[in-house]
Structure formats: structure tokens, C-alpha cells
Amino acid sequence: MNILIKEKHLYDIQAEVTVVFALNTDELLHEGPLKELGFKASQDETCYLSEFKTLYVGVEANEHDLFRAAAATAIKTLSKFTYSSLKIAQYDVNNKEGIFTALIEGIILGAYTFDMYKSEKKENTIKEIVFSSKTLEDEGSQAEILEKALIYAYTVARATNYARTLVNMTPEDIFPLKLAHVAADLAKENNLECKVLGEQDLADENMHAMLSVGRASRHDSQLIHLTYKPKKPRAVISLVGKGLTYDSGGLSLKPAASMVSMKLDKSGACTVLGIMKAASELKLDVEIHGVIGAVENMVGGDAYKPDDVLTAKNGKTIEVRNTDAEGRLVLADCLGYAQEKIKADYIFDYATLTGACLVALGQYTTGIMGHSHKLKHSVGRSGTNTGELISALPFNRYLKKQLKSEIADISNISNKPYGGAITAAMFLDEFINEENKNKWMHFDIAGPAYVESSWGYNSYGGSGAGVRVTLDWLMGLK
């Protein structure tokens, strides 16, 4: 799909169909026919006027995320037609409110389909999208501003779709070693450094918590360390991703219905890969390390057990009380590795960590947790900038007591069935060095990472949660 900008008014541009985003029904070119057809301009409402080859899409308010959703609706609607080109005006002079960026992202995210396993694949007929540099009222924008926004939005949206595809792929196609190969391919294509640690290397690094989780799998566990290193970085950031390529729950076996879609448990790793892809293509002046724990949690004679006591990389001992609380064990060792090998200004981890986060915040919102209020606020602003829903959950000393173990340094689950998203993050906090406490932020993406119905500009399945919000945060890093 080719997206370009022309310095002409919309109606001087040649294309097969026109898309108009309507904030209301007043003063529209086709106001009469629209009113006859009952068009109210409610959010994502569509009205196609065949005679004028024009699709109207409603937008409830002048907010970028509503335009992002409307753009996705437009591209999905037009995919049912046979048009190969369309044109769109500007709705925000010089992209001051981010609406042009949102429209590009909405189009690319909305056009995404995952048909890898379909015997018949439907090709999107739309090959070219032309944006006018002017609003419908003939107000012009600077070409260089629009071009810069186009490159950014195009790169970020495609990286998000890249992460989505990896999430959607089956456990037979993406297992730990295969995920390492994916990372190596990305490194080769984008000029990144890639280091992969196999099981003997993990043992040498004393990463026994991570090794224990993958013990019953026929696929060896892998630690993936990707590095993007510009010449003069403004900052160094470590991104740590949970890469459970499949999670059966282990001996604390999940119910059958809960096991379906557990390919999603690698979403944190896929988020890290998507961020690394976009950051390197945008040539951001931030040094980024992506550390991924790629593991499969299975059942077998060699499976780790409730009642086991594991020793993590930092030397802390962990009493296992539930083998389905495995992601935090993998992250504990990966966070230890990242802190030992990388002197970072910030440490972010991403994980589909707890069902409790869905209970607290619903399916569509990422829970963020950490010690720095300033860091939480800055991530929250990037959530607002990108339309990714973010909400902070608070630590407190009373919940910390629920992780106490009588036989080890800490238990891997709380002794109470409440506050599970927070206690999981507080477990991870035990593996963050004191000097790094205010540099660390935990993203529980269990809700939005994978939803089995389309929502907004997200299709069924993986959403790439965390990719766009982190890239926006990196762009604003001073």
C-alpha cells in the first residue's frame, strides 16, 4: 500500500474514491443526500454515496484517537469494494494535534489481516492512498512536516503489525529457538547486534528460575539479547520481554478453555521486537537493548513442581506454589541479566503477566507499575498521545506481605486471591537492584495484547500493545 502526499486541494487530486471524515452533518458537500440517508456522523458510522464515489465516516470529536479509529473503519469498509486508490484531505494544519499521524496509523493498523493459515487469502485491492496537503477549507500544511509525520507513522504502524503477526503465529511455528531465529533475522535486516544464550549458557549465568520453567518442554529455552546502538545516544534503555511461546500452566495445569490462545503469552517478547524494529528504522538516538526470555511451559516427567525452591540469577530463592505463575520467574532472571550486563538509564519490562490485570482494568488497558511517579506520568502522557490505554496500579506495603515464604526468600504467588497484578509486579520488584528502582517500569499487557474480537483499529488477535506507546515515549525522551 503506497501512501503519498500531494500539494493540491482534495478535489484536484485524481483517485477512484474520496474519504471524508465528518465531525457533524453541517456544511458537508453532500449534506442533502447524507441527511436523506439518516447519516448522523456518530463515531465510526459510515455512509457511502455511490453516485459521488465518496465514503463519509463519522468522528464524534476532534481527537486524534477517534480519527485513528475512523481511518481504520474507512479502510475496512473500502476493502469490500474493488477500488485501487483513494484520497483524503488534511484535518489538522501542520499535524499540530497529531491527527495526520493518527490517520496514517489507523489506515495501516485497520488494513491488517492475519491469514497465514487460511487456504484462501483475500488481497487488499487498495494500492494507493493520496493525502492532500490542504484541509477542505483550503488551509495548507508545510510539506516537510507532513512527510516527517508520514515516515514516523508508517514505520511505527508497520512495526506494530510485525509484532501482531508474531503474536498470532502458532506454538508449532514460534517456539523458543524459532523466536531466536526471528530475532537474528531482524538483526541482520536492521543492522542490530544479536546474542542468543542456550541452556548451557543460561546455567552458566545462574538463571535457574528461567531454566526450571522450560524444563519439561522438548524445546530448549533461549535468552535473546538484541542491541541497537547509535553513535551518540542520548540515553540507554533496556526492554525486557516475556516470551512464553506457549503456556500450558505446567503441573498447575490450566483448564482446557484457558489454554486456548496461550500462544499470546509471548506478546511481551513480540512487543520488544516491534520496538527494536521501528527504533532502528527511525534511527532514534537512543541505545536500546532488547532482552527476551523465550521459554515453553509444558507438562512432563521433568516439569518443575509446586513446592520446588528455585535460585534466581541474583541469588534470591523462590518457593514455587503455582507453576502457572511462570512468567515472573522468567522475567526475574531476565531482569537480573539486563541489570548485570547493561548500564541503563531506564528498564521497561512487558508481559502478559496476570489475569488479575484484566479483572482490574478490563481487556483494553495496560497496567503500569513501578516506583517513579514521574516515569509513570511520562508513560501515561505517551498513552494519551498514541491512544493506547494506560492505567497505573499502586504498590503498598500490605500487599508485599502476601508474598512471604516460610521456607525461601519469596513465594512466586500471593497467599491471598486479591491484588494479583500488583503482587506480581511486587514480586518482580524483588529482582530490581536498589539503584535501579526509580528507573524501572513494569507493563502488564495481559488485557490488550490479545483480544478475540476486533476493537477500534485492532483486529482479532494480537494488537502489538506497548509498541506505539514506547516509541512515542522514546521520541520525547530528553
In the residue annotation, 80 being an active-site residue is answered as: no
List all residues 6 or more positions away from 168 whose beta carbon is below 8 Å from its beta carbon: 114, 116, 263, 461, 462
Contact 79, 124 (CB under 8 A): yes
Q: What are phi and psi of 153, to 5 degrees?
A: -65, -40
Closest CA to 24 of 55, 58, 53: 58
Residue type, 302: D
Distance (Å, whole) CA 210 – CA 208: 5
Among 8, 178, 195, 254, the active-site one is: 254
CB neighbours of residue 367 within 10 Å: 25
Could you tell me which residues come within 8 angstroms of residue 418 by beta carbon, excluding any fewer than 6 positions away? none
Give the separation between CA 364 and CA 291, rounded to whole angstroms.
Answer: 25
450-451/461-462 β-pairing = antiparallel
Contacts of 89 (CB under 8 A, 6+ apart): 10, 20, 131, 132, 134, 135, 136
Side-chain-side CA neighbours of 82 within 13 Å: the count stands at: 0
Active-site residue (options: 164, 266, 328, 376): 328
Residue 328 annotated as catalytic: yes
What angle in degrees, to the nearest 10, is found between the helix axes of 467-475 and 267-282? 40
Beta bridge partners of 48: 55
Give the N- to C-terminal CA distance of the chain in Å, as an integer: 34
* 353 contacts 279 by C-beta, under 8 angstroms: no
List beta partners, residue 242. Answer: 293
Contact between 470 and 382 (Cβ < 8 Å)? yes
Give the sign of the dihedral formed by CA 280, CA 285, CA 286, CA 287: positive
Hey, which residues are catalytic here?
A: 254, 328
